[in-house]
Amino acid sequence: MCGIIGCAGRNEDTLDVLLSGLEGLEYRGYDSAGVALSNGSVEICKREGTIERLQAAVDRSLGGTDAVGIGHTRWSTHGPPSDENSHPHTDCTGEVAVVHNGIIENYSALKEELQESGHEFTSDTDSEVVPHLVEDALSEGVSPEEAFRRAVSRVEGSYALAAVLADSEAVLATRNDSPLVLGVGEEAAYLASDVPAFLEYTDRVVYLEDGEFARLESGSWSVSDADGEVVDKSISRVEWDAEETAKSGYDHYMLKEIHEQPRALRKCLRGRVDERTGSVDVEALVGLSPSSVQFVACGTSYHAALYGAQLLREEGIHAHAFLASEYATAPAPVDDGTLVVGITQSGETADTLSALREAHRQNVETLAVTNVVGSTVSRECDRTLFIRAGPEIGVAASKTFSSQAIAANLLALALSGRASRNQELIGALRDLPSQVQAILDDSRAEEVASKYVDSPAYFFIGRNEHGPVALEGALKLKEISYKHAEGFAAGELKHGPLALVTEETPVFAMVTGDGEAATKTIGNVKEVEARDAPVVAVTDGVSDVGRYAEDVLRVPETHPRLAPVLANVQLQLVSYFVAKELGRSIDKPRNLAKSVTVE
């Protein structure tokens, strides 16, 4: 959540870099934005609302030449959106400006102490205590960097912090449980909470670890530990390019990313599955043979975890999925053979990281399933399985869910040791990208969305592997259309939720194949049909569910384990077109953030 950008060394371009960087961080979710530049004095402009409002308000000469600067997009936690609560925040003198992601847990005590000593506060935020702490330290005659370190030493909680000071030509920064990455350019050094903020300037990055401090000056950078000792950091290259983070002619990032799924799935599978030999070769999974598997995840990733746990159980492996926020405070029992798998698109999800750290405290092996190379989860887990989906800018996950589902299939095949006996599934994995493309080419989702756009509520039902996709379909519709939607295991509909079904409640039913699960789900479809509810069947046409449906969204026939991935594409499109017709902010839905870095 929130976004940080910093720059040192671009001279007259610094303001443009900051504003461009904030635009590159819009996808994370925000309700206000601001910048601070230092060049002998600190100058600030910040506004509630969009970055466009900030751009309209800012003086283009802000900071002048040779300035260093920081910028921020805020997602409110302490205090409502307002100009006063926007970042950057300053001290009493206006000579220290700070931006902050995370939550300062002891801010109330610090604020009370500072107020008693004469400091005046102008916002409701927890973040404002930091510049005042820096001011206090500066009054003792220490250097700007030492003052920043002293202030940070008094703070408890999660944070990514960046500061500029009137008496310093540097951007100072540090992190704890909140992401921060440096960008190493030819003429400048950059700082951001995520790579897209500076990707147009450099693809060379340095990832900060918790407790490390960074100093950015004109064209140079350094990293040190909490004791001030220099840390030798390696420079990595980001495989993404700036074009991948553009809309490329699509109306929204979400639609673009839905259409990128065939390519994302091919990348996830490339070099990992050999249909000729019937083998799965994933380096991160070599040698794994757990007695049980516990998945921890949040939101869409939790639905992928539910799907993955179902696959493992079908392979005879004891597996269960937990909400990471619950696991962190009430972990499940483990033994020496337990593997804890954390699924997180960004690799920075605070709840998931906390759950994995709890697993580490219990001395069990951990595996990260993530999209972002160099993310915190990839550095902290024992093993990492990258889903290779490429950058996802839309807040609502789309292509990353599909890639997580395929990664779960790879995990199930690898752990079962039965890939060679599962040629049908391996062949279906090969065909999956082209089948997704066929749906994208021929879907009736826009027509169906238009038909039901005025419905007050929507239900999604499915059995077995379709159950998690029912939850995901409902979540996607809620996220971007703001419509009420619920997902259920199909058999549960009659145990209470059926009371809410009316002729105005479309029920999306996922039915593929003609086995027992399909037969029983059709029985549930008949139950809602008898209540005059319109049914939208998402089906491969093998069963006769279409007879009982008002509308049909077709998917190609495939292996039962992969049918939910195809069904999910249709549901993504329905959600997108409902939201588009309602005029919603599809890529940046209200109150939501792409990377949830607070617990």
What's the pLDDT tens digit per position in 583-597?
999 988 888 766 665
Q: Beta 68-74 vs 3-8: how paired, if at all? A: antiparallel
Question: Last residue of a domain, which of 389, 409, 442?
Answer: 442
Residues 202 and 305 in one domain: no
Residues 132 and 9 in one domain: yes
Neighbours of 599 (CB within 10 A): 17
Beta bridge partners of 7: 69, 190
Res 420: pLDDT: 54
Element housing 89 (H / E): strand 89-90
CATH of the domain at 177: 3.60.20.10
Neighbours of 173 (CB within 10 A): 27
Arithmetic mean of pLDDT, 473-494? 94
Pair of tokens at residue 438: 């066929």
DSSP sequence for 173-221: EEEESS--EEEE-SS-EEEESSGGGTTTT--EEEEPPTT-EEEEETTEE
Residues 397 and 478 in one domain: no
Q: Beta 338-344 vs 292-297: how paired, if at all? A: parallel
Task: Pinpoint the alpha helices (H) of 315-398.
Answer: 324-327, 350-361, 376-380
Res 583: pLDDT: 96
Res 242: pLDDT: 59
Within a 13 Å sphere around the CA of 426, how many CA atoms are in the beta-carbon half?
20
Domains identified in the chain, total number: 3
Map tokens 């599809």 to a residue.
586
Res 498: pLDDT: 84
Specify whether the CB–CB gap between 33 and 86 falls below 8 A. Answer: yes
290 backbone φψ class: left, alpha, beta (φ>0; ψ -120 to 50): beta
**Whether residue 78 has pLDDT greater than 80:** no
* 3-state SS, residue 271: coil
**Whether residue 467 has pLDDT greater than 90:** yes
Least confident of 94-103, 287-296, 418-427: 418-427
Res 557: pLDDT: 97
Residues 438 and 448 in one domain: no
Compute and round to an integer the Cα radius of gyration of the chain: 25
Dmax (CA) of the chain:
81
370 backbone φψ class: left, alpha, beta (φ>0; ψ -120 to 50): beta
Res 65: pLDDT: 74
Res 75: pLDDT: 76
Residue 372 has what DSSP assignment?
Answer: -
Residues 43 and 183 in one domain: yes
Question: Last residue of a domain, which of 442, 473, 506?
Answer: 442
Residue environment code for 320-339, b if the CB has 16+ CB neighbours within 10 A, otherwise e: ebbbbbebbeebbebeeebb
* Domain range enclosing 421: 247-442
Arithmetic mean of pLDDT, 24-48? 87
Least confident of 89-93, 280-284, 300-304, 418-422: 418-422
Residues 420 and 472 in one domain: no
- Predicted TM-score (pTM) of this structure: 0.77
With bands split at pLDDT 50, 70 and 90, how would you rate the model's confidence at 275?
confident
Res 63: pLDDT: 75
Kindly list the catalytic residues. 2, 594
Res 218: pLDDT: 84
Phi, psi of 167 (to 5 degrees): -95, 25
Phi, psi of 77 (to 5 degrees): -125, -50
With bands split at pLDDT 50, 70 and 90, how would you rate the model's confidence at 178?
confident
Q: Which of 536, 250, 570 is nearest to 438 (CA)?
A: 570
Arithmetic mean of pLDDT, 77-81? 79
Residues 344 and 474 in one domain: no
Res 172: pLDDT: 97
pLDDT per position as a tens digit, 141-163: 999 999 999 999 999 988 999 99
Is residue 60 packed enough to be buried (19+ CB in 10 Å), middle (13-18) or exposed (0-12)? exposed
Specify whether the CB–CB gap between 400 and 344 falls below 8 A. Answer: no
Tell me the helix, strand and coil percentages in the chain, rounded to 5.
40, 25, 40
Res 152: pLDDT: 96
CATH of the domain at 527: 3.40.50.10490
Cα distance between residue 492 and residue 463, in whole Å: 10
Least confident of 234-248, 283-297, 301-315, 583-597: 234-248
**Whether residue 12 has pLDDT greater than 80:** no
Pair of tokens at residue 519: 């037969």
Residues 468 and 447 in one domain: yes
Res 25: pLDDT: 81
Res 500: pLDDT: 86
Residues 347 and 232 in one domain: no
Residues 231 and 126 in one domain: yes
With bands split at pLDDT 50, 70 and 90, how would you rate the model's confidence at 430?
very high
Identify the residue with better confidence: 106 or 246.
Answer: 106
Res 594: pLDDT: 65
Identify the residue with better confidence: 496 or 507.
Answer: 507
pLDDT per position as a tens digit, 309-342: 999 999 999 999 999 999 988 889 999 999 999 9
Residues 238 and 317 in one domain: no
Q: Which of 563, 572, 573 is nearest to 409 (CA)?
A: 563
Arithmetic mean of pLDDT, 19-26? 86
Question: Last residue of a domain, which of 196, 221, 243?
Answer: 243
Residues 513 and 588 in one domain: yes
